[in-house]
Amino acid sequence: MKGIEENAEKKVVGICGSPKKNNSWWMLQRAVNSIEKNGGTVEIIHLGDYEINWCDGCLTCEETGVCRIKDDMIYLTKKVVASHALMISTPVYFNSIPGKLKCFIDRLNPLLVNDRLNGKKLIVFIVGQLTGKEGEKSRSDVKRFFSALAEICNIDFVGSVEAEGRLSNDLEKNKKVVFQCEELSKKLVMKE
């Protein structure tokens, strides 16, 4: 399929959008076990380890297919292109996503040239601390953002897991979340 490198069949890149290695990180780890058990390979990227400047909106990438900002997105963009599927794990920040994750996503704009995101699969893990209806709404706002993003980029949005949590052991105790992360991530590497 156009946009996917030939040998990228079961290569998954997991992006941790939290500044911490806490709940979002923990959900990614559950997925790693499951993908590896099912024959895939995963590389986890913690955005906190990289220099990612914000998109300055110059739009030259729409002519050239490359970003003129020279930072770690050169390396990260290559990782995304070489993957078959992406997992993004994120905390809810004010019913949205943390700024650095948004910078990362904005800086993928060059990949829309030549349809280099087309056909990739995406799953998303979303964790927030608010409870009840308010919490559900804030997590579903984030889910809607990713579903719209996938549509714009011609990415196959496979699904999401939304969890309520503040401390990492809130999730560890939640068997349903463990199960959901494992089952959803399996879909990235198993034949349909």
Ligand X SMILES: Cc1cc2nc3c(=O)[nH]c(=O)nc-3n(C[C@H](O)[C@H](O)[C@H](O)COP(=O)(O)O)c2cc1C
Strand segments (E) across 85-184: 85-91, 121-128, 156-164
Q: Is 138 in the site for ligand X (CB under 6 A)?
A: yes
Q: Which is nearest to 167 in space by CA: 15, 44, 20?
A: 20
Q: How many residues bind ligand X (CB under 6 A)?
A: 18
The binder of ligand X chosen from 5, 9, 20, 169 (CB under 6 A): 20
Nearer to ligand X, 156 or 170 (CB): 170
The binder of ligand X chosen from 11, 13, 23, 181 (CB under 6 A): 23
Q: In the complex, what is the shortest distance from the CB of residue 28 to ligand X, in angstroms, rounded to a whole number? A: 10
The binder of ligand X chosen from 103, 130, 149, 158 (CB under 6 A): 130
Which helix (H) or strand (E) segment holds residue 46: the answer is: strand 41-46
Q: In the complex, what is the shortest distance from the CB of residue 72 to ligand X, in angstroms, rounded to a whole number? A: 20
Q: What amino acid occupies position 164?
A: E
The binder of ligand X chosen from 79, 135, 156, 159 (CB under 6 A): 135
Chain-centroid distance, C-alpha 110? 17
Do 168 and 18 form a contact (C-beta atoms < 8 A)?
no
Q: Which of residues 156-175 bind ligand X (CB under 6 A)?
A: 165-166
Q: Is 91 in the site for ligand X (CB under 6 A)?
A: yes
Q: In the complex, what is the shortest distance from the CB of residue 142 to ligand X, in angstroms, rounded to a whole number? A: 9
Q: Is 112 in the site for ligand X (CB under 6 A)?
A: no
Q: Which is nearest to 161 in space by CA: 101, 89, 95?
A: 89
Give contact residues for ligand X (rule: CB under 6 A): 18, 20, 22-24, 91-95, 127-130, 135, 138, 165-166
